[in-house]
Structure formats: structure tokens, C-alpha cells
Structure 1
Amino acid sequence: MRWNDLYVSGLGAHLPEREQTAEQAVAAGLYDAGRAEANGIRAVRVAGPDEPGPVMAAAAGRQAVARSRLDHDLFDLVLHGSMGHQGQDFWTPAHYVQGETVGGHGLAAEVRQGANSGLAAVELAASHLGSRPGATAALVTTGDAFALPYVDRWASDDQTVYGDGAGAMVLSSRPGFARVRSTASLSEPSLEPAYRGTRWTASPCESGGPADLSGRKQAWFTRHEGAYQEALELIGRRFGQVLERALDDAGTKLSRTQWFVHANVSEQIAEWGFYRPLGLDRARTTYDWGLDFGHMGGGDHIIGLNHLFESGRPRPGDLVVTVGVGPGFLWTAMVLEVLRAPAW
């Protein structure tokens, strides 16, 4: 979808102070040394007991709203994206975030699309603002804190290390520091079983141990000879399609863009999923920075964008591309045009 009057007015992030390095995790017997070398993640942030995902998301949201300089009563929508446990069962974290940031009585809802939660929420927020003439601003937040017994950040997924953190973005119909040129989303539900596993459960942690995401994926990807290669080809095809759609709607090509933000994934996934097939210059991404934070659930892309703009590197006229994917499978791509360097 091409957008003409949709802008990014604010970005924010909250990263816990406590750091745990991969070296420390290996020494403590929490992380396999071979996986540590192959994955390349150097460290993660670890949330404290008073920092569940929604609390961190609210902190990031307040920062983004303050940077936007938009009045609270202009916010018509709050969407909160996440991947893991949100600090309480039978609860609606989006309304907590709303109350702790902009307040009001607008629509507040939760988006659960795994690692693509943040960008999927941005796509929905863009559609909301674009279809309602009276709607001025929307706040999108993400927040995830991974902890036992629900998730083992070092071992639940052999190619992923989970770090804690939160991000926020303010979208507005009023001019901001960047214009959203386009967004696009595409699903492939035939791949959904890869993360489901082979049996249903009655409650979280029913087995008494953390989620075994590696085991679920291995069982499905090896269900017959050639299944893994078939899945990789389909994933690559859908990724290429959603990226091409967003670039076409933005009226540009990847070679004409200056920045690319993707999830904080392992070295092998980054190399074979992004850099080699797309010919990306790693220096034009946030990847090396992300190696010190790991995969922050649904927030990698928004937190990465926040870091990119805080670094002061994007210049007016630059184009920024970000693409996410989450279990389901759902891909979302966005193209931003930098209008000015934000004061912050």
C-alpha cells in the first residue's frame, strides 16, 4: 500500500540496564559454546522483576510520544505487540500501555505475531489512520521479557538468543521527521505447523519446562525428505514478494535505498537470508549493534529504527527499508523516506 500523508513523528526504546554476555552464559552452562560461536550474538539485556514487557513498552511509548510533540488527545489508537508472556494471565496489556502513555478512550488492542508483532501493528495502524479522516495519531509499542520457566533465552531455539527490551513508534497524519512511503504484508499459513508442535497443551509450561521451539521446528522440517528445502524456498519466495511489493508501491528499488533494518538473528540467518541474496552492505544495517541485544521478540525492527535515528546517520532524502517475519508465517515490509534529522 502506498501512503501519501502518513508520517513517523516519534520513536522510543527501553532497554534494561542488566547485561548478560554470551561468554558468561557459556561459562555458567546456560549456552552451548558451539552455538555461541555459530550464532554470533554477543550479549542480551535482562529485565528485572519490575520490568515485564508492558512496563518497558510504556516507558518506550512515553519517550516516543514526548518526541512526537503531539497532544495526548490526538491519539486515536494504541496497538501493543509482543511475543512472550506479558507479566500476567487473563489481562489486556494494551490498555495498561494506553493508560500509562496517552490515556483517552481510543481503540487499544494487542497484536501477537511473534517477531513480526511490531511491524504488523504498524501496518494495521497505518490502515486505521488512512481510513479515518478524523484520526490524527497512533501509538505502536512492543515489549518482551523472556524468563524461565516459560522461555530459556539461551536454549529454547538453537538459532535464536532472546533479549529483553521494548520499542515504540508514533504514526501521524501530521508531518513528522520521516514519511511512510509504503507498507506491505503477506501470509503463508501452510508454514504455520512449524511452530505449533505435534500436540495441543492445556496451559503454558504444561510440561514443566521451557518452550522447545527448536524441537518443534525440527520435527516439522524433517517430516519427509526435502521438506526443509521446500520450506526454505517458500520462505525466500514470500520474503522476496513482500519486499518487492513495498518497494514498488514506494516507487523505488532496493539499490536506491540507503538503510535496511532486519531482526537481530544469528549470523547464518543474516548472511543467507539477507546479505547474500539481497547484496546488502552490512554497514548500512543495524545488525552489528543488534549483536549486543539479541532477538527482542516483537520489537527488533522498531528498536533498530530508534537506534538508527539516534545515531544521526540517516540524512534527508534517504530511504529506509525494514522487513519482518513471524511464525504464522506473516511478513511485513515498510519503506520510510527521511525528511529531516529529528532533534533528539
Structure 2
Amino acid sequence: MRWDSLYLAGLGACLPDRRETAAEAVAAGRYTADADAANGIRAVRVADPRTEGPAVMAASAARLAVARSGLAAEEFGLVVHAGSGHQGQDLWTPASYVQQHSVGGHAATAEVRQGSVGGLVALELAASWLVARPDTPAALVTAGDSFHLPYVDRWTLDDQQVFGDGAGAVVLSRSGGFARVLSTVTRADSSLEAVYRGTEWTPAPFADGRPVSLAARKRAHFAGDEQRLRGAMATMTDRLRTVVEQALDEAGGLKTADVARVVHANLGLPVARWGLWEPLGLDPERTLHAWGRDLGHMGAADQFVGLDHLVRTEPLAAGDHVLVVGAGTGVVWSAAVLQLLASTPLAPTPPASTTLAPTTLAAEPDH
């Protein structure tokens, strides 16, 4: 979809203070030296689940993005929150929490759960909402995730991947901003849905008392059938390439060589190389891979946190194009093409952490 008069007006990110290194995980017996050497993830951020749940971090990122946008709270007609894992409470609506603790008001809220591509899917849905409602000036989109034992082990949840904690936020505006949203494309292939599902249904989360293992689900699905695995990987590569090519074409007939920077998920080296760089013909130096090695994969939040880092720290110029791409369970692929309208804006450093205790969940936080 090509968009006209749709802008990014604000970005925000929230990362916990605590840092856990791969070397520490290997020493503790939670990660192998071989996996460490192959994946290249140096460290992750670790949130305190009692005070830094995904929705709490997302609300912190949201407040920063809204402040940077210069928009008034009453201009936001939609708040969408994305996450791939537990958001801090069961049978609960984190999007409403983010709204209450950022812009408040009575606008519509929604939650997107589409794995690692959830943030980009939420972005495209919010864009469609704004265009369909000319009287709605802006939308707030957030994404946040954290990964904790005993539910998941961040170091072994999936093959060739390590999971870190964090959240990001984007303000979409119809009236202006620092970058234009030129195009977004999202496509799915439900024939691959079963890859991450597992072989048995469960009555509730954490029903068997064992950590979730996406790696084990994939092994069970393919059951050692190498040809079937290769076929699925080829399909995933083809779908990714198709989505990116369409987004670039709808952005004005661009090619990957026309893009100044690429923002993708923080991935282990094998997945980044064979799942993204090789299929798309990307130079790793044009991505944020080196930076992401100290954060790990933050579920649905990687792209928003990456965009915040890019805009605040990289030497971008007016007219530069940025490609944002992601893939998530389902299997779903999404891509967005942005164009900077001014030299990289200077913005205050995001808050490093949040401090909201469970006993004060009903109170308005001040941080």
C-alpha cells in the first residue's frame, strides 16, 4: 500500500538497566559455548518482571514518543499495542494500560499478537485507521516484550536466537513529522502456521510446568524431514523477498540499493545472514546488526527500538530512505519504506528503565 500524507512524528524506546551477557549465561550452564560462537549475540537487557513488564516499558516509550511528536493527547484517535509473549498479567488488555499511562482519553485501543512482526503489523493497521478516518489526526503504536523463567528461557527458546527485553513506540500523524511513510506491505502464508504451534493443544499457558521451546516445536513439526525443512525455508525466503520488493516498488520504484539504512529484527548471525542479507542482497553494514548484538531479539519491539536508535544516532540526511522489515510466526512478513524529511532530529536520550510496583498499578506513574 502506498501512503500519501502519512508521517512518523515521534519515536521512543525503553530498555531496562540490567544487562546479562552471553558469557555469563554460558558460565551458568544456560547457554552453550558453541551457540554463543555461532550466534554472536553478546548481551541482552533483562527487565524486572515486578516493575518493568512489557506494557509498563511500552507506556514509558509511548510518553517519550508523544512528547517528541509535539502533538496534544486529544489528537490521538487510536492506540495499538503489540507483543509476542506474556505482557505482565493474564486475561488483561495491555493496550488500555498503555493508553491510560501515556495519552489517556477515550480513543479506540487494540492489541496485536503476531509474534516478532507484531509491531509492523500494528503500524500498518494504524495507518489504515488514520486514512479511513480523516477526522483522526494521529495514532500511537507501541510494542513490548520480556522473557523470563520459568515460562521461557531467553537463551534457548529458539534455535540461533537470543531474546532480550525492551519496548518501543511510534507516533503516526496525518499532519506532518520528521519522516514520510511511503509504503507498507504485509503478507502471510498460513500453510506454515503449524511450524511453531507444536503437536498438542494445552488448556492454559505454562500448563505442563516446563519452559516454552519454539525450537522443540520446529523439530517436532519437521520430524527430521530435511526436504520438507528446505522447502519451508525456500518458501519463507520467497515470501520475504516478494514483500520487500513490493514495498520498495510502491514507494516509487525503489531498489534495495536506493535505501540508506535497513532496520530488521536483532537476529543471531546465521538467521541474519541466510534469512535476510543473502535473500535481499543487503550489506550488513547498512543494517543495525552490530548494535543489536548487545540487545538480542526483543520480540515485537525490535523495529521500533531500532528506528529510535537510528534516528537519534546515525548520520541520516533529508531525502534518505529507510527500509524496515520483519517476519513473525504465522508465518507473516511485513515491510515499510520511510523517507526522512529533514536531517536527523536531535532528541533526548530515552529513559533507561521504569519503576512501577505491582501495588501501584492503578496509579499514574511519574517517570
Interval of TM-score (by shorter of Structure 1 and Structure 2):
over 0.9
Instruction: Give the 3 Å change call, closer, same or farther, for CA 72–234 of structure 1 in structure 2.
Output: same
- Residue 63 of structure 1 is matched in structure 2 by 64
Measure how far apart 1:278 and its partner are.
2.4
Question: For residue 270 of structure 1, what is the amino acid of its counterpart?
Answer: A
Matched, 1:13 2:16: no
Return the offset for 1:244: 1.0
Correspondence for 2:46: 46
Q: Is the 8 Å Cα contact of residues 62 and 101 (structure 1) preserved in structure 2? A: yes
CA RMSD of aligned residues (A): 1.0
CA deviation vs aligned residue, 1:7-41 (integer Å, no higher than 9, x gap): 00000000000000000110111111111111110
Identity of aligned residues (%): 53
Q: After superposition, give the CA deviation of every residue in 1:35-84 in whole Å (9 maximum; x if it has no partner).
A: 11111100000001200000000000000000000000000000000011
Matches within 5 A, 1:142-181: 142-181=143-182
Contact kept, 8 Å, 1:222 with 1:228, in 2: the verdict is no
Any stretches of 5+ residues in structure 2 without a counterpart? Answer: 348-367
Distance 1:312 1:115 in 2: 24
Task: Say how many residue pairs are matched.
Answer: 344
**C-alpha distance in structure 2 between counterparts of 1:4 and 1:28, whole Å:** 52
Residue 323 of structure 2 corresponds to residue 324 of structure 1 = no
What is the CA deviation profile of residues 295-337 of structure 1, one whole-angstrom value per residue up to 9, with x for unaligned ones? 0010101110110001042111100001111000111100000
Matched with 1:336 is 338
Aligned residues of 1:261 and 1:286 also touching (Cα < 8 A): yes
Offset at 1:221? Answer: 2.5
Partner of 1:276: 278
Q: Who is 1:3 aligned against?
A: 3
Classify the secondary structure of the residue corresponding to 1:324. Answer: strand
8 Å CA contact retained: 1:263, 1:295: yes
List alignment gaps of at least 5 residues for structure 1.
none
Between the aligned partners of 2:224 and 2:10, the Cα distance in structure 1 is 45
The offset of 1:277, in angstroms, is 2.6
Corresponding residue for 1:293? 295
Match for 2:39: what amino acid? N
Task: Find the residue that maps to 2:282 and give its secondary structure.
Answer: coil
Q: Name 2:307's counterpart in structure 1.
A: 305
Asked if 1:105 corresponds to 2:103, the answer is no
Residue identity opposite 1:8 in structure 2? L
CA displacement, residues 127-147 of structure 1 (integer Å, 9 cap, x when unaligned)? 001111101100000111110
Amino acid at match of 1:342: P
**2:153 and 2:91 mapped to 1: Cα distance?**
23
Rounded to whole Å, the distance in 2 between the matches of 1:62 and 1:69 is 11
Query: How far apart in 1 are the matches of 2:314 and 2:237?
Result: 32
